Amino acid sequence: MNRRTALKGMVVAGATMARATSARAATRAAAPADAVGLLYDATLCIGCKACVGACARANDLEPDTSWSNGLYQAPLDLNARTKNIIKVYREGANQSYMKAQCMHCLDPACASACMLGALKKRERGIVSYDATLCVGCRYCEMACPYNVPKFEWAKLNPRIVKCELCRHRISEGGIPACAEVCPRKAVIYGPRAELLEEAKRRIAEGGGKYVPKVYGETDGGGTQVLYLSHVPFEKLGLPTLGDEGVARRARTVQHAVDKYFIMPAVLYAALSAATFRNRKNAAWRKPPEEPQP
C-alpha cells in the first residue's frame, strides 16, 4: 500500500464517518458515489479567460459581445450566453481572479425548487437540465444561493442556461472544456473525493499561502466544485452559507406538510365531517317561515 492509496483509504474512511455523522444530524446530503467536479485554485489562475471562450465553443453559446461593440467576447456576468466567467477581485495589493460557474451542490436549491425536476442531480451528481420538463417559472433562479441559473429573456422559447459540467463531453470520454484548455491547470477535473484530497494536500504543502479551508467541502451542504484561495472566499463572491444544505429548511417544512398526503388527508376528512354536520343542521337551509298574520 503506497502513500496515495493510504491517503485515499483515509479519505474514504473519513467520508464514511462524515456520512454517518451527517446521517445522524441529517443536515447534509452525502456526495453521490460517482460524483465528479472541478477544483479551482485562485493562486494559479492568471486570468487569461481561455476557459471562457472554450466553454462557449464547447456548449455552442453565441459569444456575448454586448459590452465590446461586437468586437470580442466580454460578458459582465454569467448570463444566457455565458456559463462560465473569470472575474477579478482587487483591493490594494490584494488581488485574485475568480472563476464562476455552477457549483453542482450536493443538495441543490434549484433542483429542490423545480416542479417537475427539469433541473436535477443526474449521472455523476451533475445538476443537469431537461428542457422538456421546464415551464420557465424561474424559481431555480430565485433559489440558487450562487445566482447561477440564467434565463433566455430575449427568446420566445426561453430555456434555463447553466453549466452542466460539459456532461455531453464527459459521456464521450472527454472532460469539461474549461479544465481541458486551462494552461496553468488552475482548474482541474476529477472525482470529487480525489479533488478534495488534492486540495487538502495543496493547503498542507502550501506553507501558509492558502486560506486553510476548501470552499465547497461543506459549504451550503457541500458542492462538487471546490475552491482554493489566498484571499478570503467572500471577497471572491462566494457566500458564507454554513454547513447545512441550502435546501434543507424549506424541504423540512414542505415535507412536514405534504409527506404521503397524510396531513392533508386527515385534515380533509375532518373538514368534510364538520361541513356535513353544519350544513345539515344549518338554519339557512330550512324553508323561510310564513309571516304570521
Partner 1 sequence: MIRGAQPVGRFTMNRTTRTLAVIAGVGVIAMLYRMAAGLGAATALNDGYPWGLWIAFDVVTGTALACGGYGIALLVYIFNKGAYHPLVRPAILASALGYTLAGVSVALDLGRPWMIWKIPLYFWHWNPDSALLEVALCITTYMFVLWIELSPAALDRWRGDPGSRLHKIASRLTGPVDRGLTWVIALGVLLPTLHQSSLGTLMMLPGPRVHPLWQTWFLPVLFLTSALSMGFAVVVMENLFSHHVLGRKFETAMLASIAKVVVPLQVGFIALRVIDLAVRGDLALAFTMDSYAALFWIELALFAIPAVVLASRSRVMHAPTLFRAAGCLALGGTLYRFDTFLVAFQPGAHWSYFPSLGEITITAGLVAMELLAYTAIVHYFPIMTGAAAPRAQVEKAGV
51 in Cβ contact with 181 (< 8 Å): yes
Closest C-alpha to 22, from 178, 185, 216, 222: 222
- Nearest distance from C-beta of residue 107 to partner 1, angstroms: 10
Q: Which is nearer to partner 1, 201 or 279 (CB)?
A: 279
Least separation in angstroms between residue 219's CB and partner 1 is 12
C-alpha cell at 188: 482541474
Give me the residues that bind partner 1 (CB under 8 A), please.
77-80, 109, 111-117, 133-139, 141-143, 145, 147, 150-158, 239, 241, 246-247, 249-251, 253-255, 257-259, 264, 267-268, 271-272, 274-279, 281-285, 288
Q: How far is the CB of 81 from partner 1 (least distance, A)?
A: 12
Q: What is the DSSP letter of 163?
A: -
Shortest spacing between CB 164 and partner 1, in angstroms: 17
Q: Which is nearer to partner 1, 5 or 281 (CB)?
A: 281
Exposure string over 262-271, b if 16+ CB within 10 A, otherwise e: eeeeeeeeee
Of the two residues 10 and 25, which places its CB atom closer to partner 1 in the complex? 25
CB of 127 to partner 1, least distance (A): 13
Give the three cell numbers for residue 42: 485562485
**CB closer to partner 1, 148 vs 226:** 148
CA–CA distance from 2 to each of 10, 61, 270 (Å)?
A: 12, 44, 66
Nearer to partner 1, 2 or 278 (CB): 278
Is 38 within 8 Å of 225 (Cβ atoms)?
yes
Q: Tally the residues of the chain.
A: 293
